[in-house]
Structure 1
Amino acid sequence: MNGVMFALLALFWGGSFVSIDVGLHHFPPLLFAAVRYDVAGLLILGYAAVTTDRWKPQTRGDVLGIVTIGAFIIAGHHSLLYLGQEHVPGALAAVIVSLSPVLTAVFASTLFADEHVTPLGAVGLLCGVVGVAIVANPTPANLLSTDAVGIGLVFLAAASFALGSVLSQPFETGVSVPALQGWSMLFGSILIHAVSLGTGESPAAIDWSMSAVASLTYLVLISGVVAFLIYFHLLDTIGATELNLVGYLEPVVATLLSWLVLGELVASTTVIGFAAIFTGFALLKRDVLFDFWRAASPSVRRV
């Protein structure tokens, strides 16, 4: 059952990249991200209020956790991602975002004394950087192209997510996981609204077509509420470490859906770049991968 839910989570979150591609034809990018988390945050916080005892922030750790996650993982990550996807397709964005676990290891080893990168892990970090370079394919001619700018923005989105993940670790929060996510989404959406307003985006620019409504509905209900409910369940049953591996199925899903829904094909360099990024992650987190494989195949034993 957990395997099915894991696959559904990858499907729903991988599909969000394609849905963002569709919605960006109808929404200003920052306002699109803000509205998504306005609604998703309210729904998830409502779920937390009904199903959990601790849903109101009460301690300094609660507030700091909400502010950190809201600022970096919700506002920073999604603002940069949506701006980046104005210039690059969702499948390529999903590949770059899959670098987040590698960047998380970099930030953790830099900020925390007890986190160390082994020599083999350093090779993994290099593989991750090489993977993004292969995807970007920088040349003097295309260094300032819209594609290169989009790739840079999505890379910064991945870095914001990774930094937020590391910075939020020391805070001891007493609120439930759904409540933490809901409050963080609402705080993040407020920040995105502020930036959207500052850049001159207007609700009048929204084209409320059927495609726009379908895209927003998918992002709010399917990749937002439903996917997060699955996430909360898997977090309790398999743990955060193994759950993070879902990020490496998302680019595969995004690529297939981009082809099926939008007719977009992925360049061979993107596939090679993703392989290099995953190799980097595998070298950094080889024990995690082995434990995940051993859990899926009980007959496997470490030699």
Structure 2
Amino acid sequence: MTTDAGHRDSVAAPAPGLSMVDVLVLLAMQLAWGGSFVISKVAVTDFPPLLFMGLRFLIVSILLIRFLRWHKGQMLNVLLISLFTGSLNFGFMIQGLSMAADVAPVAIAVQLGVPFATLLSVLVLHERLGVWRIAALAISFAGVLVVGLDPAVFQYGDALMLVVFAAFMMAVGTIFMRRVRGVPVYSMQAWIALFAWPPLMAASFFLEGAPVDIIATIELSWGVIAGLAWVVFGTSLIGHAAYYWIMQRHEVGLTAPFMLLAPILGAAGGAYFLGDVITWRMVVGGAMTLAGVLIITVREGRGRRAPELAERGL
């Protein structure tokens, strides 16, 4: 998740409609983000999840090291963004994904980052809510409740709670993102990755064992290698570049429906590739949550080209 708040006033005026290239880019982006749920689930089946996420950010920080620039007056916000949206958000999310039996509830619950951010904007930034957004908030949270009360999901309710907490951490990071000015996309990603991997590695050391010993003794399967390649290049680098290219060209309301494809593709991928069972509660609850998220995104995104919540997945 990154932001390029400093570019909001300098980008070209948004295009009036989506071209075929825009649609293909949006679909590819959602495939990258949705697929990350499935391939990450495969990776952490036989590999420590916190170490997996720590390695992800370590590799990203190395690849983006040339984009590191000191941004005077912004670094405290950047550090806090990294803590909440990097270490805490992804740490709890990957732990929840590793504990969950199915991908779909995780892909749905993580969408609560949007309504959580709306609530925090009211409490911290004193923004006002209209009837549409109040209704959307209720629908979103009710949808996750419907999913959580599914007997199949209730068996790993602790995993779902970790993912909900991860979504809340993402929302907290959004508050600090709104304070950032003049930090380019890849510079922000580079700082987030650089600040995120040490806490994740430390958590892995205390909870999973010494990372160096684990890497030396556990054979890196193709699933782990493919998972790291996917989340580093597909999700973090290519996916985010495509996201900001699209957001600089079009208003949020025009692209918002596409942004909901990632959890749908993730759930479908879990069912097709991993044999996950999709129950009617997951379908109904997921539809409610995504509908609420769509309403909030469209209502809050009017006139905004680069919303703070860039990534609602892995």
Aligned-pair CA distance for 1:23: 0.7
Instruction: Look up the SS of the partner of 2:129 in the other structure.
Output: coil
Query: Cα–Cα, structure 1 residues 246 and 164, in superposed 2: closer, same or farther, change >3 Å?
Result: farther
* Native 8 Å contact 1:95 1:274 kept in 2: yes
Question: How many Å separate the matches in 1 of 2:147 and 2:282?
Answer: 5
* Native 8 Å contact 1:31 1:201 kept in 2: no
- Letter paired with 2:185: V
Alignment of 1:110-259 (within 5 A): 110-113=123-126, 115-137=127-149, 145=155, 147-172=156-181, 174-203=182-211, 204-205=213-214, 206-238=218-250, 246-259=258-271
When the two structures are aligned, how many residues end up with a matched partner? 279
What is aligned with 2:53?
Answer: 33
Find 1:56's aligned residue among 69, 87, 93: 69
User: What RMSD over aligned residues (CA atoms) do the two structures have, in Å?
Assistant: 2.5
Question: How many Å separate the matches in 1 of 2:278 and 2:265?
Answer: 12
Q: Which runs of 5+ in 1 are unaligned?
A: 50-54, 293-303
Aligned-pair CA distance for 1:73: 0.7
How big is each residue's C-alpha offset from its partner over 1:116-164, in whole Å with a ceiling of 9 and x where there is no partner? 112332222111111111010078x996x4x100000000011111111
* Native 8 Å contact 2:57 2:193 kept in 1: yes
Question: How many Å separate the matches in 1 of 2:51 and 2:77?
Answer: 24
- Letter paired with 2:282: T
What is aligned with 1:90?
Answer: 103
TM-score normalised by length of structure 1: 0.83
TM-score normalised by length of structure 2: 0.81
How big is each residue's C-alpha offset from its partner over 1:141-189, in whole Å with a ceiling of 9 and x where there is no partner? 996x4x10000000001111111112221232x3321111111112111
Query: Cα–Cα, structure 1 residues 78 and 285, in superposed 2: closer, same or farther, change >3 Å?
Result: closer
Question: How many Å separate the matches in 1 of 2:192 and 2:257?
Answer: 22
* Native 8 Å contact 1:92 1:266 kept in 2: no
Instruction: Look up the SS of the partner of 1:25 in the other structure.
Output: coil
Aligned-pair CA distance for 1:261: 1.9
Question: How many Å separate the matches in 1 of 2:69 and 2:121?
Answer: 29
Find 1:267's aligned residue among 262, 269, 279: 279
What is aligned with 1:5?
Answer: 25
| Regions of 4+ moved over 4 Å | 239-247, 288-292
What is aligned with 1:298?
Answer: none
Instruction: Look up the SS of the partner of 1:266 in the other structure.
Output: coil
Question: How many Å separate the matches in 1 of 2:85 and 2:255?
Answer: 17
Find 2:81's aligned residue among 63, 69, 85: 69
Question: How many Å separate the matches in 1 of 2:251 and 2:77?
Answer: 19
Find 2:114's aligned residue among 98, 101, 120: 101
Question: How many Å separate the matches in 2 of 1:6 and 1:170?
Answer: 27
Query: Cα–Cα, structure 1 residues 163 and 246, in superposed 2: closer, same or farther, change >3 Å?
Result: farther
* Native 8 Å contact 1:9 1:246 kept in 2: no
Question: How many Å separate the matches in 2 of 1:39 and 1:272?
Answer: 38
Aligned-pair CA distance for 1:217: 1.6
* Native 8 Å contact 1:20 1:90 kept in 2: no
Instruction: Look up the SS of the partner of 2:98 in the other structure.
Output: coil
Aligned-pair CA distance for 1:236: 2.4
Identity of aligned residues (%): 22
* Native 8 Å contact 2:253 2:297 kept in 1: no
* Native 8 Å contact 1:91 1:254 kept in 2: yes
How big is each residue's C-alpha offset from its partner over 1:90-130, in whole Å with a ceiling of 9 and x where there is no partner? 222111111221111111111112x1112332222111111
Question: How many Å separate the matches in 1 of 2:166 and 2:275?
Answer: 26
